[in-house]
């Protein structure tokens, strides 16, 4: 449906997962993966030493969480914060001739 009015018209809103707020969710989702994978490790004796295995495990847990989040946002969007995104109606100016 096109309109003879000039400018854009608001056709309504649609609910969409707010992807800007998924950062804390990614952190929370990666934590259990890291905890399970490192549960049998001995505690580190010195905090000054670099622990290469620890860095790789943190990276792996974040990758697992990054793979799980898109699946969850598509299948269960009600689990995440959502926002209203405006949906515009095309006017006569935007219709190709």
pLDDT in tens, 8-37: 677 888 888 888 888 888 888 899 988 888
**Stretch (H or E) spanning 78:** none
Whole-model pTM?
0.61
pLDDT at 92: 63
Distance of CA 47 to the CA centre of its chain: 32
Helix (H), strand (E) at residue 74: helix 52-75
Give me the mean pLDDT over the 63-86 stretch. 88
Q: If we measure between CA atoms, which residue out of 97, 93, 67 comes closest to residue 2?
A: 93
Look at residue 23 in the predicted model and tell me its pLDDT. 85
In degrees and rounded to multiples of 5, residue 13 shows phi and psi of -130, 155
Kindly give the interhelix angle for 52-75 and 23-37, rounded to the nearest 10 degrees.
Answer: 130
Contact call for residues 86 and 28 (beta carbons, < 8 A): no
């Amino acid at each position: 449906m096109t309109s003879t009015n000039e400018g854009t018209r608001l056709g309504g809103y649609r609910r969409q997962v707010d992807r800007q707020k998924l950062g804390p969710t990614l952190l929370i989702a990666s934590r259990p993966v890291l905890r399970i994978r490192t549960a049998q490790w001995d505690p580190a004796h010195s905090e000054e030493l670099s622990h290469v295995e620890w860095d790789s495990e943190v990276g792996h847990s974040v990758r697992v969480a990054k793979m799980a989040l898109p699946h969850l946002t598509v299948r269960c969007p009600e689990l995440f914060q959502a926002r209203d995104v405006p949906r515009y109606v095309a006017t006569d100016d935007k219709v190709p001739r």
